[in-house]
Chain A
Amino acid sequence: MDILAQQIFNGLVLGSIYAVVALGYTMVYGILELINFAHGEITMMGAMVAISVIGMGLAAGLPALPLILLAMLAAIAVCMCLGLAIERFAYRPLRHAPRLAPLITAIGMSILLQNIAMLIWGKQYIPFPPVFPQGEHRLLGAHVTDVQLIILATTLLLMLALTLLVQRTPLGRAMRAIAQSQPVAQLMGVNVNRVVAATFAIGSALAAVAGVLVAANYGQAHYYMGFLLGLKAFSAAVLGGIGNIAGAMLGGLLLGLIESLGAGYIGPLTHGFLGSNYQDVFAFFVLILVLVFRPSGLLGERVVERA
C-alpha cells in the first residue's frame, strides 16, 4: 500500500471535517469577535442524537438510507435549536459586556453540554450502528472506504453551499456587513440580532453534519469527543485566519493533511522514538509556526483595517 497516497487521502477526509466545524467558529468570530467554545460540543451532540435516532429506527425496522437522512435531519434540528438557545440566553445578554465575560461563558457552556451528554448517553463510547455503506475501494494506491467518500462529498457540498450563501445572498451580505461595521449595517436596516441568530443556526447545522460524519467514520461517539475536535477545528480557523470563510476551509484541510502526514511519518522520522499518537504535536507545531510568522493566519486580514 502506498503510504503517501493513503495519508494524503486520510488527511483530506479528516481535514474536510475540521473545515466544516471551523466554519462555525470563524463565522461567529467574524461577526461577534466571540470564540464560541461550545461549538465542539454541538458537533458531539449531533453525533449522539444521530446514534439515538438510528438506534430507534433500526429497532423499528427502517431501511438504511431513509434512516440516515432522518438521523441527519434530527441531528441538524437539535443542534440548530441548541445553537440558537445558547446564543439567545448565554451570549446575547453579554453582547456589550467586557470580552472576558462571554469567553468564560462559552467555556462554561462547553462543560455544561458535555455533562448533559454524559447524563443522557453515559460515559462509555457508544458504537455508531453500521447503517452507512461499508464498501472499500482502491484509489491511486490508497485504501478508501465508502464512508470516507461520503464524508468528502458531503463536506465539499456544504462548503460550496456556504460559500454561495455568504457571497451571493442578502443574508450572506448582511453577515459580512455586520462583520465590517455593526452600526452601519444597522443603518442599512439589518436586524443584527436576527442575523447573529441565523449565523449560529447555520454554524450549528454544519457542526451537526460534521458530528454525524465523524462518528460514522470512527464507528463510535463519546461525550468528550467534541473537545479535541473543537480545539482542532478552532486551530484550523486560526491557521486560515479567523473570521475568514475561505481561511477556515483552507486551514481545516491543511491541518488534516499535516496531522495525517505527521502521524504517518513521525515514526520513521524519529526512528520509532515518537509514535503516531504524537500526531497532534505536528498539527499544533505547525499552527504555532504559522502564527509566529503570520499572526493573522494564512488568509487573515490585517487587523488595522477594522479601525
Chain B
Amino acid sequence: MKLLSVERLQVAYGRIQAVRALDLQVGEGEAVCLIGANGAGKTTTLKAIAGLLPCRGSIHFDGRSLGQQPAHAIARLGLTLVPEGRGIFPRMSVLENLQMGAYVRRDRQAVKSDLEEVFALLPRLAERKTQKAGLFSGGEQQMLALGRALMSRPRLLMLDEPSMGLAPVMVQTVFGIIRQIIQRGVSLLLVEQNAHLALKLCQRGYVLENGAVGLADPADELAANPAVRAAYLGEA
C-alpha cells in the first residue's frame, strides 16, 4: 500500500487544462521528486493534492480517499504542503509561525518538545524567535517554513520549489535540512527547478511534460538518461 497514490489527476484553470491524467505514487518513507519545465503542472499537482484546487481523478492518502475534502481537513491527516514562495506569515513572529504549524495538534507536551527539536535543527530560528518573519531573508523564511511544517508532524511533506530565489550557499543549507528531515522518516514529495539537486536527494523521480508524466524512474536512472540530462540538467 502506497502512502500517497494519485490516479488520473486532472486540474483545469477555466478552459486551460494544466494537469491531464497524471498518475504518481509515494511510498512510506520514500523521497520522490517531480521535475519538469515551467508550466508542466508541478505546482498545480501539489496544490490539487493539498486540496487548494478543485480537481478530478482519485487521490488516496494512507488508504483514505481525499475526494473533494477541503484543504484544512487534508492538512489534519498529516499531509503538509510548503507552498511555492514559502507562505510564511510575515506579520507574525517566528514562534507564532511555528505555533501555527501545530495548530491542529492538541498534545501540548509533545508540541513543546517538537518546538525544542525544531530550534535544535534550525538554531538560526531559535536566535530570532520573537522577530517578525517578514523581516527575514528568503533562506531564513524557507527554514521557517520547513520548521513550521515539521511542527505539524507530517507523514508526507510536499515541498514546492524550496530552492527558489535562494543564494547558492543557502540552497545547500536548505537541502541539508531537507535531507535531515527525510532521515527522520518523513516521506517527501519534492517539486524542484533544480533537477540536479532533486535527483541527488530523492530515490525516484517523475518528469512532467504538459500536465502528464513523461518519465517515471529511479532517480539515478533519470540522472543518467541522456534526454533528461539535455532537457533538465543543462547538458548538451
Q: A residues engaging B (CB < 8 A)?
A: 170, 173-174, 176-177, 180-181, 183-192, 301, 305
Contact = CB atoms under 8 A, between A and B. Distances in A.
Nearest to A174: B103
Interface string B83-97: 100011111100010
Interface centre among B52, B75, B81, B134 (most CB of A within 10 A): B75
Contact of A173 (B50, B52, B100, B134): B100
Given A176-B91, A188-B104, A189-B76, 18 more contacts: A170-B99, A174-B103, A176-B96, A177-B100, A177-B103, A180-B90, A180-B91, A183-B71, A184-B87, A186-B51, A186-B71, A187-B71, A187-B81, A188-B72, A189-B75, A189-B104, A191-B73, A305-B134
A176 B72 contact: no
Interface of B: 50-52, 70-73, 75-76, 80-81, 83, 87-92, 96, 99-101, 103-104, 134, 148, 152
Contacts of A176: 89, 91-92, 96
A189 B103 CA distance: 7
Contacts of A181: 87, 89
Nearest 7 A/B pairs, CB to CB: A189-B104, A186-B71, A184-B87, A189-B75, A180-B89, A188-B103, A191-B72
B210 to A, nearest CB: 25
A39 to B, nearest CB: 24
Nearest to B104: A189
A184 B72 contact: no
B135 to A, nearest CB: 12
12 contacts: A173-B96, A174-B100, A176-B92, A181-B89, A186-B75, A187-B50, A188-B100, A188-B103, A189-B75, A189-B76, A301-B91, A305-B90
Contact of A184 (B51, B73, B89, B152): B89
Contacts of A170: 99, 103
Contacts of A180: 89-92
Interface centre among B87, B89, B104 (most CB of A within 10 A): B89
A191 to B, nearest CB: 5
A192 B75 CA distance: 13
Contact of B70 (A174, A184, A186, A188): A186
A192 B134 CA distance: 23
A149 to B, nearest CB: 36
Contacts of A188: 72, 75, 100-101, 103-104, 148, 152
A125 to B, nearest CB: 44
A192 B72 contact: yes
Contacts of B72: 186, 188-192
A180 B92 CA distance: 9
Contacts of B148: 188
B124 to A, nearest CB: 21
B39 to A, nearest CB: 20
Given A170-B103, A173-B99, A187 B92 contact: no
Nearest to A179: B91
Contacts of A177: 89, 92, 100, 103
A191 B81 CA distance: 16
Contacts of A305: 90-91, 134
Contacts of A187: 50, 52, 71, 75, 80-81, 83, 87
B199 to A, nearest CB: 26
Contacts of B70: 186, 191
B103 A183 contact: no
Contacts of A183: 52, 71, 83, 87
A187 B158 CA distance: 11
A180 B96 CA distance: 13
Contacts of A174: 100, 103
B49 to A, nearest CB: 11
A189 B89 contact: no
Contacts of A301: 91
Contacts of A184: 83, 87-89
Contacts of A190: 72, 103
Interface centre among A176, A183, A301, A305 (most CB of B within 10 A): A183
Interface centre among B73, B76, B103, B104 (most CB of A within 10 A): B103
Contacts of B76: 189
A186 B52 contact: yes
A185 B104 CA distance: 11
A186 B152 CA distance: 13
Contacts of B71: 183, 186-187
B156 to A, nearest CB: 13
A304 to B, nearest CB: 11
Contacts of B75: 186-189
A170 B190 CA distance: 30
A192 B71 CA distance: 10
A29 B89 CA distance: 18
A95 to B, nearest CB: 13
A184 B86 CA distance: 9
